[in-house]
C-alpha cells in the first residue's frame, strides 16, 4: 500500500471516475496518451473524491463526539474558518471564510468541531446559500443552543474565470436562529467578527 493511499483512503468508483476523465480529455481535443496526461485522469479522480469527501462524513456526530455539559450562556464565536468548496453549477471552486457563533444552552462542543462542521459541508458540491443554512441547522439541531448565527464570505471562481469575469467581488450570506433573531445580538456578532484584535 502506497503512502498516499494510507493517508487518503479513496472511495469506491475511483477507477470508473478516472476512465470518465480520460474520455473528457479526448472530448476536449487532447490526447490522453501523451506523456504529460497519462496520469492525469487518476489524479483528477482522486482530487475530486477528496474535494467531495463531505458526503461520507456525519457532521452531527462530529459535534456530539465532543459534547460537554457547561453552565455558560454567552456567545461562543469561531471566526475566520478558511474553507474551499465546489460550486454545483460549474464545478469550479469557491473559497473564503466562515464565521460561526452559538449561545450554549447547557452544553458546549469542542471549538475545533465547529471548524470540522464547516469543512464537512464545504467538501460537497454546494451553493453558498445552502452551505450557510446547513451549518446553522446542524449546530442548532445537534447542540440545541439558545441561538446560532453563520456568516460566510466567499469568492467564486465561476464569476472570476468565466461569465462576468469580475475579480474582486465577494459574496456574503448569513443565516441565524433563536437569540440571533434580535437585531442587537446579530449586531454584536457582526462587530466581533470584524474586529481584528485578539
How many angstroms separate the CA atoms of 169 and 155, rounded?
Answer: 7
Active site residue 123: no
Answer for the pair 176, 186: CB distance below 8 angstroms, yes or no. Answer: yes
Selected catalytic residue, list 128, 134, 138, 140: 128
Active site residue 12: no
Query: Distances in Å between the alpha carbon of 46 and those of 25, 53, 57, 108?
Result: 16, 10, 17, 36
Answer for the pair 46, 8: CB distance below 8 angstroms, yes or no. Answer: yes
Active site residue 158: yes
Q: By C-alpha distance, which of 24, 7, 15 is closest to 42?
A: 15
Selected catalytic residue, list 30, 60, 90, 160: 90
Active site residue 167: no
Active site residue 138: no
Active site residue 128: yes
CA atoms within 13 A of residue 63's CA, in its CB half-sphere: 23
CA atoms within 13 A of residue 139's CA, in its CB half-sphere: 37
Active site residue 60: no
Task: Kindly report the backbone phi and psi dihedral angles of residue 76, in degrees, each rounded to the nearest multiple of 5, phi listed first.
Answer: -110, 125
Selected catalytic residue, list 60, 153, 158, 188: 158
Selected catalytic residue, list 49, 87, 123, 138: 87
Selected catalytic residue, list 89, 182, 187, 194: 89
Selected catalytic residue, list 23, 56, 88, 129: 88
Would you name the residues annotated as active-site residues? 87-90, 128, 156, 158
Amino acid at each position: 500500500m502506497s503512502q498516499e493511499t494510507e493517508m487518503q483512503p479513496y472511495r469506491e468508483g475511483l477507477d470508473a471516475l478516472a476512465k470518465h476523465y480520460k474520455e473528457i480529455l479526448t472530448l476536449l481535443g487532447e490526447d490522453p496518451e501523451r506523456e504529460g496526461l497519462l496520469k492525469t485522469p487518476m489524479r483528477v479522480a482522486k482530487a475530486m473524491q477528496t474535494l467531495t469527501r463531505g458526503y461520507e462524513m456525519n457532521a452531527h456526530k462530529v459535534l456530539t463526539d465532543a459534547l460537554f455539559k457547561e453552565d455558560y450562556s454567552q456567545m461562543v464565536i469561531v471566526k475566520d474558518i478558511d474553507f474551499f468548496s465546489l460550486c454545483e453549477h460549474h464545478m469550479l471552486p469557491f473559497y473564503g471564510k466562515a464565521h460561526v457563533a452559538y449561545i450554549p444552552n447547557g452544553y458546549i462542543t469542542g471549538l475545533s468541531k465547529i471548524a470540522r462542521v464547516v469543512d464537512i459541508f464545504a467538501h460537497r458540491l454546494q451553493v453558498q446559500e445552502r452551505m450557510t443554512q446547513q451549518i446553522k441547522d446542524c449546530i442548532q439541531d445537534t447542540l440545541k443552543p439558545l441561538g446560532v448565527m453563520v456568516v460566510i464570505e466567499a469568492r467564486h471562481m465561476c464569476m472570476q474565470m468565466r461569465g462576468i469575469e469580475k475579480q474582486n467581488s465577494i459574496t456574503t450570506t448569513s443565516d441565524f436562529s433563536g437569540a440571533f433573531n434580535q437585531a442587537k445580538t446579530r449586531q454584536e456578532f457582526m462587530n466581533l467578527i470584524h474586529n481584528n484584535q485578539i
